[in-house]
Chain A
Amino acid sequence: MKKFILALLIIMSCVSFALAEELSLTIDKEKGEIIIPAEVNGKYLVSPTKHALSYFKGGNGEKSIMRALVSEIDYYNALVELGAVPGDNIKAEDMKAKSSAEGKSTEGSKVSVFLTWEGSNGEVSLDDAIISTVANGEVRKLDLRFSGNLEFASKYHPGCFICLDSCAAGITTNAAWPTGAMNNKEVSFKGNPDTLPPDGTRVNVIVRLVK
């Protein structure tokens, strides 16, 4: 009986996960922007993470400040459709850098990211939605780039849309912090609970190509 209940619970979890709501992203070529439906994960308003936005079915879906309700591959294709050029200069071995001095910064077309939600007072920039704690006190603004990494994303399915440091896995990652910075604890990030809405709130993540 106990085994049956356990098996039933596992099956129910898997089925509901598989059937969970999946939406589509919106591409506005005139404005040069992509709108991604997502939800806030309250865990990372109190805990540090390196992920700002990840696909909820990806490996890092629950490791991110916001979980995207669309696939990161669709996001990659949407950026290409807007004319963005991927950097593709960070490799897995670059992630082993022991400090930012040894690390590498991502390249690729520059993007800016804003958030809106029901009740938000207009657009909130991702910079304002993130708290960076920097060891030497020198806080840097986000410098988000279209890093590319399609091959890694397709092969390992981490689900990463936006990483907060330069990364070999994310479609867009942060050139302001080279690889190795987080390994060396030079910087850590978490969501800003004073700016972001509570856990579970649906948000629109607006990604604009900077021309």
Chain B
Amino acid sequence: MLACIYNALLWSMLISVVLSRNEWLDMRINTGIIFFAVSLVLTLLFVLTKKFNTFKMSLLSLVITFAGLLYILGLEGLLVIPASIIREGLMQHNLSFRVINAALVGVIITGFVIILFTAKHERQ
């Protein structure tokens, strides 16, 4: 279940960033709400299909989505756009990018470590 949520969050961030790169769309939709809605839909999809519930898929998702985000946004954009999407979705304009980025990195690393240990534990 955790791996499904983890993978859903990663892929929905990539999808939201791709959508927000379209200026027409970015001016008309709340990309943060798109992020949370797509996360929910993908989580359900991944739970039902059971294909993203593994460490291997989580590693693959992490590498592909990170590479995709870096390619689309560059390093400067990577430090701003994902955080701005979360901020818009939460409607918390006072939150700084630094705080959101710290939380994002925390979630990504902690989630990955838990999935790794869960996979090891299941193998034993």
Within 8 A of B (CB), among A178-211: 188, 199-200
Question: Does A46 lie within 8 Å of B76, measured CB to CB?
Answer: yes
B53 contacts chain A at the CB level, 8 A cutoff: no
User: How does the 8 Å CB contact mask read for B55-93 relative to A, with 1 for contact and 0 for none?
Assistant: 000000000000000000000110011001001101111
- Option from B30, B84, B90, B91 in Cβ contact (under 8 Å) with A43: B84
Question: Does B91 lie within 8 Å of A17, measured CB to CB?
Answer: yes
User: How does the 8 Å CB contact mask read for A1-27 relative to B, with 1 for contact and 0 for none?
Assistant: 000000000000110110010000000
Question: Does A47 lie within 8 Å of B26, measured CB to CB?
Answer: yes
Question: Does B23 lie within 8 Å of A188, measured CB to CB?
Answer: yes
Question: Does B27 lie within 8 Å of A62, measured CB to CB?
Answer: no
A164, chain B: closest CB distance, angstroms: 11
Interface size on A, residues (CB 8 A): 25
- Option from A13, A41, A51, A63 in Cβ contact (under 8 Å) with B92: A13
Task: List the A residue with the shortest CB-CB distance to B20.
Answer: A47
Looking at chain B's contact residues, is the secondary structure mostly helix, strand, loop, or mixed? Answer: helix
Contact partners of B91 in chain A: CB under 8 A: 13-14, 17
CA–CA, A200 to B96, complex, Å?
7
- Option from A20, A47, A60 in Cβ contact (under 8 Å) with B93: A20
- Option from B80, B92, B96 in Cβ contact (under 8 Å) with A46: B80
Question: Does B84 lie within 8 Å of A42, measured CB to CB?
Answer: yes
Question: Does B90 lie within 8 Å of A56, measured CB to CB?
Answer: no
Task: List the B residue with the shortest CB-CB distance to A183.
Answer: B24
Question: Does B80 lie within 8 Å of A49, measured CB to CB?
Answer: no
User: How does the 8 Å CB contact mask read for A30-68 relative to B, with 1 for contact and 0 for none?
Assistant: 000000000101110111111100001000111100010
Contact partners of B81 in chain A: CB under 8 A: 43, 46-47
Contact partners of A48 in chain B: CB under 8 A: 23
CA–CA, A41 to B95, complex, Å?
11
Question: Does A49 lie within 8 Å of B27, measured CB to CB?
Answer: yes
CA–CA, A51 to B27, complex, Å?
9
Contact partners of B27 in chain A: CB under 8 A: 49-51, 60, 63
Question: Does B23 lie within 8 Å of A67, measured CB to CB?
Answer: no
Once A42-B80, A46-B81, A50-B27 are accepted as A-B contacts, the answer to whether A13 and B90 lie under 8 Å apart by CB is: yes
Q: Which A residues fall within an 8 A CB radius of B?
A: 13-14, 16-17, 20, 39, 41-43, 45-51, 56, 60-63, 67, 188, 199-200
What 9 pairs across the A-B complex have the smallest Cβ distances? A43-B84, A17-B91, A62-B88, A48-B23, A13-B91, A46-B80, A46-B77, A13-B90, A63-B27
**A–B complex contacts, Cβ < 8 Å, 27 sampled:** A13-B90, A14-B91, A20-B93, A41-B84, A42-B80, A42-B84, A43-B80, A43-B84, A46-B76, A46-B80, A46-B81, A47-B20, A47-B81, A49-B23, A49-B26, A49-B27, A60-B27, A61-B93, A62-B30, A62-B88, A62-B93, A63-B26, A67-B93, A188-B23, A199-B80, A200-B94, A200-B96
If A42-B84, A67-B93 are given as contacts, then 16 extra A-B residue pairs at C-beta distance below 8 Å, sorted by A number, are A13-B90, A17-B91, A39-B93, A41-B93, A42-B80, A43-B80, A46-B77, A46-B81, A47-B20, A47-B80, A49-B23, A50-B27, A62-B84, A62-B93, A199-B97, A200-B96
